[in-house]
C-alpha cells in the first residue's frame, strides 16, 4: 500500500493523517476547499497535550483526481458526509484499492460494501479525544489508537500491512476478529455520552457523578444492545452498562465530539447515533424511548435548517419574535380557519385564518393597542387598532394547496372585510409589528379616516 489518501482533516482524520504523513511522503489529503486552503498555506498542525506537537505539509486537494491514485483510502469524516465522499472517491479507485473507515456509527461498513463491494472494505474504530481549533489546526488531549478488522473476521495480509503503517507512525493499532462488535460497543458509549454532555452542557464527569443518571445510562445502553441483537445479530455483554461506565472513568474531564460540534454550530451525528437506534428499534419492534427522547432533545437544541419557505415575522411589543410559515398558519385553531375566503370576500379565492388565531399564539406586552402590517419591500404599511385587527382581520396564506400567489398579493395578504378595502388591505405582508399607539402607516390620509 504505497499511496494513502486520508479523507478529512478534522479531529480524527487530522490527527491520524498527520501522524501517518509525518514520515511518509505518500500520504495525501482530500479536503473541503476551506480546510484545503488552510493546509496548503500553513500545513496541518497537531498540538498535543500528551505527546509531541508538530506540523506537516502533505499534498492536499479538494478534487481526488488531483492527488495520487490511492492504494488505501482512510475515511476520517463525519458519518453524515459518507454519501458525498463515496461519490468523490469512486472515480479514483484502483481495482484493489482498500477503504478503511474510522467513522462513528454502525452502518458505515455496510454502506461502503453495498457501493464498492465487500472486498474493498476494512472496518475501524478510533479512540481519541481531540478537537478542531481552526481549519488545519487540531488540539489533541487524550488517547489516539485504532482497532481494525475484516468484515468476515479473518486476519488478512492487508490488515497486517495497515497495522504496520499505523505502528510506524507511532499510533497503537489493534486487530480484532469481530469489528462489528467493537463498533457496537463504541456505539453504546457514543449514544450515552455524546447527547448527555450536550444536554448537561458539561464534561463526561457530570453525567457520571449524578446518581439519578445511573439508571438512565443503563437504560440507554440496554436499548442499544437490544437493537444490536435484533437488527444485526450482534450479541453484546449483559454487563455492558457497567462496562460503559468503567471505560468512561479515565475520560471524565473530556467533552464529546457532539458537544464540540454543538458548541461550534456544526451539524451533529445525532441521526447516525441515537436516531439510528430509534429507527431500527421501530423496524424490529424494540422499544427505545430513552434514545427517542435524547434524539428529540438534541434536535430541539440545534439551529433549525434554513429554508426558502416564505415566512411572516411577528415582532415589536411581544414577548418573543415569532415566524409563521404557511404550514404554521394552517395548524392554528380550526375555529379560525377560513377554507374559502370567497364567502366573505367576493371575487377572492384562497384559504386564510382569522387574525384572532395569530393573537392566540402571540404573547403581547402590557399596553399594546395597535398592530402594523408591513409589505415585504417595506414600501407599504397599514396600522390599525388591535381591536380592529382582531374583529376584521383575515390573513390569506394558501390557494389550491400551495402558496398564495404573489400576483394576488401573496404569499401572505391581509384583508379586512367590514373595514373597507382601502383601510387595511396589505399585499405581500412580511412583518407584523405590535405597538403602543399609532405606528408607521403609509396609507393616504383620506383612507379609512374614521379610524384616525
Predicted confidence at residue 443, as pLDDT, reads: 82
> How far apart, in whole angstroms, are the C-alpha atoms of residue 231 and residue 234?
8
Predicted confidence at residue 98, as pLDDT, reads: 98
Q: How far is CA 370 from CA 131, 384, 394, in A?
A: 51, 6, 16
pTM of the model: 0.74
Q: How far is CA 392 from CA 117, 267, 338, 418, 439, in A?
A: 65, 44, 13, 6, 19
Task: Decide: 413 and 428 in contact? Cβ < 8 Å.
Answer: yes
Q: Are strands 72-75 and 4-7 parallel, antiparallel or unpaired?
A: parallel
Predicted confidence at residue 155, as pLDDT, reads: 95
Task: Decide: 126 and 78 in contact? Cβ < 8 Å.
Answer: no
384562497: which residue's cell? 350
Computed on alpha carbons and rounded to an integer, the radius of gyration of the chain in Å comes to 29
Residues of CATH 3.40.50.720 domain(s) within the chain?
Answer: 1-177
> How far apart, in whole angstroms, are the C-alpha atoms of residue 149 and residue 135?
30
Predicted confidence at residue 452, as pLDDT, reads: 42
Q: Please give the grid coordinates belonging to residue 312.
A: 411572516
Predicted confidence at residue 446, as pLDDT, reads: 58
From the first residue on, what is the mean pLDDT of each consecutive set of 10 residues in the chain (452 residues)? 95 96 96 96 96 96 97 96 96 97 95 95 96 96 95 95 96 96 97 97 96 97 97 94 94 93 91 96 97 96 72 93 93 94 88 95 94 92 92 94 92 87 79 92 65 44
Predicted confidence at residue 309, as pLDDT, reads: 86
Task: Decide: 223 and 287 in contact? Cβ < 8 Å.
Answer: yes
Residues of CATH 3.90.420.10 domain(s) within the chain?
Answer: 311-451
The architecture CATH gives domain 1-177: 3-Layer(aba) Sandwich (3.40)
> How far apart, in whole angstroms, are the C-alpha atoms of residue 257 and residue 252?
14
Give tens-digit pLDDT for 138-167. 999 999 999 999 999 999 999 999 999 999
Check whether domain 179-306 has CATH 3.40.605.10, yes or no:
no
- Tell me which DSSP letter residue 172 carries: -
Predicted confidence at residue 422, as pLDDT, reads: 52
Task: Decide: 110 and 138 in contact? Cβ < 8 Å.
Answer: no
Please, what CATH class does the domain formed by 311-451 belong to?
Answer: alpha beta
Residues of CATH 1.10.1040.10 domain(s) within the chain?
Answer: 179-306
Amino acid at each position: 500500500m504505497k499511496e494513502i489518501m486520508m479523507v478529512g482533516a478534522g479531529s480524527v482524520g487530522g490527527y491520524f493523517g498527520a501522524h501517518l504523513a509525518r514520515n511518509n511522503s505518500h500520504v495525501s489529503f482530500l479536503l473541503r476547499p476551506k480546510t484545503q486552503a488552510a493546509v496548503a498555506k500553513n500545513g496541518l498542525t497537531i498540538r498535543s497535550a500528551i505527546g509531541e506537537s508538530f506540523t506537516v505539509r502533505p499534498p492536499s486537494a479538494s478534487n481526488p483526481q488531483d492527488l495520487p491514485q490511492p492504494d488505501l483510502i482512510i475515511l476520517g469524516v463525519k458519518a453524515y458526509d459518507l454519501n458525498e465522499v463515496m461519490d468523490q472517491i469512486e472515480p479514483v479507485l484502483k481495482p484493489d484499492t482498500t477503504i478503511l473507515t474510522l467513522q462513528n456509527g454502525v452502518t458505515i461498513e455496510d454502506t461502503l460494501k453495498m457501493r464498492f463491494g465487500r472486498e474493498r472494505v476494512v472496518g475501524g474504530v478510533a479512540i481519541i479525544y481531540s478537537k478542531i481549533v481552526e481549519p488545519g489546526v487540531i488540539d489533541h488531549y487524550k488517547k489516539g489508537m485504532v482497532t481494525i478488522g475484516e468484515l468476515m473476521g479473518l486476519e488478512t495480509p492487508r490488515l497486517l500491512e495497515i497495522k504496520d503503517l499505523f505502528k510506524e507512525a507511532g499510533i497503537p493499532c489493534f486487530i480484532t476478529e469481530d469489528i462489528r462488535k467493537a463498533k457496537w460497543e463504541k456505539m453504546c458509549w457514543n449514544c450515552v455520552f455524546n447527547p448527555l454532555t450536550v444536554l448537561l452542557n458539561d464534561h463526561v464527569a457530570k453525567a457520571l457523578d449524578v446518581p439519578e443518571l445511573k439508571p438512565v445510562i443503563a437504560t440507554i445502553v440496554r436499548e442499544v444492545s437490544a437493537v444490536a441483537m435484533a437488527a444485526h445479530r450482534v450479541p453484546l455483554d449483559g454487563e455492558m452498562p457497567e462496562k460503559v461506565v468503567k471505560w468512561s472513568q479515565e475520560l471524565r474531564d473530556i467533552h464529546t465530539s457532539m458537544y464540540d460540534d454543538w458548541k461550534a454550530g456544526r451539524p451533529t451525528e445525532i441521526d447516525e447515533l441515537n436516531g439510528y437506534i430509534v429507527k431500527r428499534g421501530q423496524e424490529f419492534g424494540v422499544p427505545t424511548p430513552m434514545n427517542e427522547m435524547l434524539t428529540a432533545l438534541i434536535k430541539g437544541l440545534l439551529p433549525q435548517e434554513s429554508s426558502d419557505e416564505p415566512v411572516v415575522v411577528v415582532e415589536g411589543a411581544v414577548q418573543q419574535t415569532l415566524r409563521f410559515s404557511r404550514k404554521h398558519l394552517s395548524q392554528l385553531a380550526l375555529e379560525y380557519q377560513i377554507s374559502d375566503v370567497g364567502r366573505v370576500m367576493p371575487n377572492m379565492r384562497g384559504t386564510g385564518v382569522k387574525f384572532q388565531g395569530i393573537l392566540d399564539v402571540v404573547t403581547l406586552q402590557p399596553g399594546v393597542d395597535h398592530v402594523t402590517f408591513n409589505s415585504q419591500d417595506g414600501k407599504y404599511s397599514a396600522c390599525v387598532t388591535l381591536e380592529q385587527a382582531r374583529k376584521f382581520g383575515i390573513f390569506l396564506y394558501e390557494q389550491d394547496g400551495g402558496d398564495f400567489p404573489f400576483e394576488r398579493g401573496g404569499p401572505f395578504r391581509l384583508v379586512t372585510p367590514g373595514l373597507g378595502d382601502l383601510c387595511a388591505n396589505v399585499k405581500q405582508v412580511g412583518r407584523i409589528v405590535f405597538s403602543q399607539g399609532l405606528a408607521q402607516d403609509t396609507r393616504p390620509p383620506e383612507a379609512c379616516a374614521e379610524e384616525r
